[in-house]
Each structure stands twice: as C-alpha cells, then as structure tokens.
Amino acid sequence: MKEITYVQAIAEALAEELERDEKVFCIGEDIQTGTFGATAGLVKKFGPDRIMDTPISETAIAGAAVGSAMTGYRPVADFMFADFMYIAFDEILCKAAKWRFMHEGTQQIPVVFMAAMGGYLGLGAEHSQSPVSYYMHTPGIKVVVPSTPYDAKGLMKSAIRDNNAVVYLYHKALLGSTGEIPEEEYLVPLGQADIKREGKDVTLVATGMQVQFALNIAEQMKDKVSIEIIDPRSLEPLDIDTIVKSVEKTGRAVVVDEDTSRCGAACEISMQIVEKAFDYLDAPVQRVAAKNYPIPPGAMEKFVLPQPQDIIDAVEAVMG
C-alpha cells in the first residue's frame, strides 16, 4: 500500500489507462497544465495529440469526444468545472446517453466526461454545483462520484474501460485529501456500493464530500449512536440492494447529497428505500441536501449547502 492524494489518484488512473490502451486520449481546456492537477504532467509522457488542449468550446469538446468514441476511441473529456458541462448537455444527455439505444443497441460510445464539482470553497453559484441529478435522471448514461483516493483511481479506470458514457464527478474540496491505495493495479466496479463504516442503529447514505462529513460525525457520535455509512460510489448504476440490506438491519435511514434537494439523488434514493424497505423502517427517512437556492459565494454558502450539523440533526431525528 502507498499513501496518495485524491487528485494524484485520478492522474495515476489516467496515466495507466493511456499507457494500457492507445485508443484512450484526453481532451479539454488547459488540461496540459490542468486547472485542478488531475491531468497535470500527462502531456510530457503522452504528447499533445493525446492530451489535447482546446479553446473554450464545450460543445466542441463534448462532440469531439462523443463522435470519436463512436468510431472506437476512448476519450476522456475534461470540462474543468462540472458547472460548465451544462453548455454541452445536448452532446452529453442526447447523443452520448441516447444513441446506443436509438441505434439498435449496437453502437458503443465509450466516453468519460470528467469535471470537478462541489462547494465549500466559496466559489459562488456557477462554480460550486454538484449536478449529479441530471445524469442520474437521464437513461443511458452512468455517473460516479468518488469520495476517497482509492475510489477515485479505481472508478476512473473502470469508467474508461466501460463501453458506455460515464460522467465522472470529483470533488474540488477533496483534491488534497489522502488515503492508501495498493501498489498493484486494481479496479473499482461501477454499481457496487462501499460500506465506509459499519454500524447498527442508522444507515447513512452519502457520496463525495458528504462521506467525509459522515465519517467525522459517526466518530463524534459513536457513544450515542452506531452509524453505518454506505457510499454508493456510482449513482447510476445504483447498488440499492446494499442500501436496503443495511436498512433492514438498522431500521433507520438518512440520505445525504450535496446537490440541490429538489429532485436530487437523495430524493430518488429515499423513495427507493421507501418502496423496498418500508416494513423495516422505525422512523421516516430523513433527507439532507442543498437548499433550493443557487449557491452564494463566500460565507453565505453555508446557508445553502448541507452542513455537518444538518446531518447530526437528521441522525437525531431518526433516532427519536
């Protein structure tokens, strides 16, 4: 095992897959330097034809990736901020997500759309969003959100090897966080949740930055309540079975999501718990997510984004 940062883990995954398969290439704005460091240094080894800097042209980046993926390439399109992906939603949500289905299930579109998401850095409404729900909502596209360096590397490698379009959203506030990963190659499969902490009183479902909040809270509250933390890691495909199994054991569920509350991932997961595990519930499911406002910059953001105290309150509410 070795210690590595979250952002280094992403870079390592990209380097390994670029090395392994010559059909893999990266494309995006300023990726040779890399705004967040996830693609930094790759150009030195793989050259500018495989680490392609582009102008500010999100639809062209997405189109270049989707179009070339249709012919057998495995592009990783980097959008820098997750917020910028909205500009290319036609290419992402219509073409990449629908064209396999529309084209008799024979067309493969093995493309990864990566971007940094998330708040807690005070960057304001158009640089802080965690837009997971749009992808989770759209049939035909997968979405992953790593919370640790181990998952960041293993999920990226699986995303690149997947024969479908995968949105890979990594959290800006976790870039420098550290964790252990194996020296040897490994993959983290899509659609397999990870129990980040075992417990018996409450099932707490969280992704990305919220997993880190949850781990701290579980430790802090351990004398009062035993919290089981489930990180789905991919929201589509969603490993609902692991979540349901946990709820059958604990009888209580809190679902945490950094995205806007209304129609968000927490909303969907909570409903699935209600549909599949209602008879096991001893209390109503609690949802913790961003309030239904744009995210203000600076200190004001804490009134919109979910805070650790909100998670504590939700745990106490289900405990009664």
Partner 1 sequence: MKLEKDDLILLYRNMVRTRKLDELTIKGLQEGKVLSFYHSGQGSEGLAVGSAACLRKDDYLWGHHRGHGIGYLIGKGLDGKAFLAEHYGKVTGSCLGISGFHFAEPEYGALGAAGTIGSQFPISLGWGLAAKKTGKQQVVLACFGDGGSNRGTLHEAFNLAAVWKLPIVWLCDNNGMAQYTPIKDTYPKDDIADLAGGYNMPGVVVDGMDIMAVYEAVEAAVDRARAGGGPSLIEAKTARYRSHSEGSPDVSHTVTRSEAEIAELKKRDPIETFKIKLLKQGVLTEEMVDQINKEADEEIIETEKFSLDSPPPEPSILNKLIYAE
Q: Which residues are catalytic?
A: 127
Distance CA 45, CA 182 (A): 23
* Helices and strands (H and E) in the chain: how many: 11, 14
180 binds partner 1, rule: CB under 8 A: no
119's tokens: 């708040």
140 binds partner 1, rule: CB under 8 A: yes
Q: Phi and psi at residue 249, in whole multiples of 5°? A: -80, -45
Distance CA 33, CA 310 (A): 38
In the complex, least distance from residue 234 CB atom to partner 1, rounded to whole angstroms? 12
Judged by CB under 8 A, the chain residues 38 through 67 that form the site for partner 1 are: 49, 54-55, 57-60, 62-67
Interface mask toward partner 1 for 234-253; x: CB under 8 A = --------------------
Distance CA 118, CA 305 (A): 10
In the complex, least distance from residue 240 CB atom to partner 1, rounded to whole angstroms? 17
In the complex, least distance from residue 91 CB atom to partner 1, rounded to whole angstroms? 6
| Percentages (nearest 5) of helix, strand, coil residues in the chain | 40, 20, 35
Closer to partner 1 by CB, 37 or 67: give it. 67
Closer to partner 1 by CB, 64 or 193: give it. 64
- Options 68, 177, 226, 272; binder of partner 1; rule CB under 8 A: 68
| Axis crossing angle, helix 240-250 with helix 265-277, rounded to the nearest 10 | 60
* Angle, CA 257 vertex, CA 264 and CA 251 arms, to 5°: 100
- Options 2, 44, 72, 320; binder of partner 1; rule CB under 8 A: 72
Distance CA 125, CA 127 (A): 6
**Number of residues this chain uses to bind partner 1 (CB under 8 A):** 40
Whether the bond into 308 is cis, omega within 30 of 0: no
In the complex, least distance from residue 106 CB atom to partner 1, rounded to whole angstroms? 7
In the complex, least distance from residue 73 CB atom to partner 1, rounded to whole angstroms? 6
In the complex, least distance from residue 277 CB atom to partner 1, rounded to whole angstroms? 24
139 binds partner 1, rule: CB under 8 A: yes
Return the bridge partners of 76, or none.
26, 112
Closer to partner 1 by CB, 54 or 192: give it. 54
Closer to partner 1 by CB, 7 or 144: give it. 144
Residue 241: count of CB within 10 angstroms of its CB: 12
Interface mask toward partner 1 for 82-111; x: CB under 8 A = ------x-xx--xx---xxxxxxxxxx-x-
Closer to partner 1 by CB, 72 or 320: give it. 72
Closer to partner 1 by CB, 147 or 164: give it. 164
Strand order in the sheet with 51-54: 51-54, 24-29, 74-81, 112-117, 166-171, 142-144, 234-236
Distance CA 269, CA 285 (A): 10
Q: Which residues of this protein are in contact with partner 1, per CB under 8 A?
A: 49, 54-55, 57-60, 62-73, 88, 90-91, 94-95, 99-108, 110, 139-140, 142, 163-164
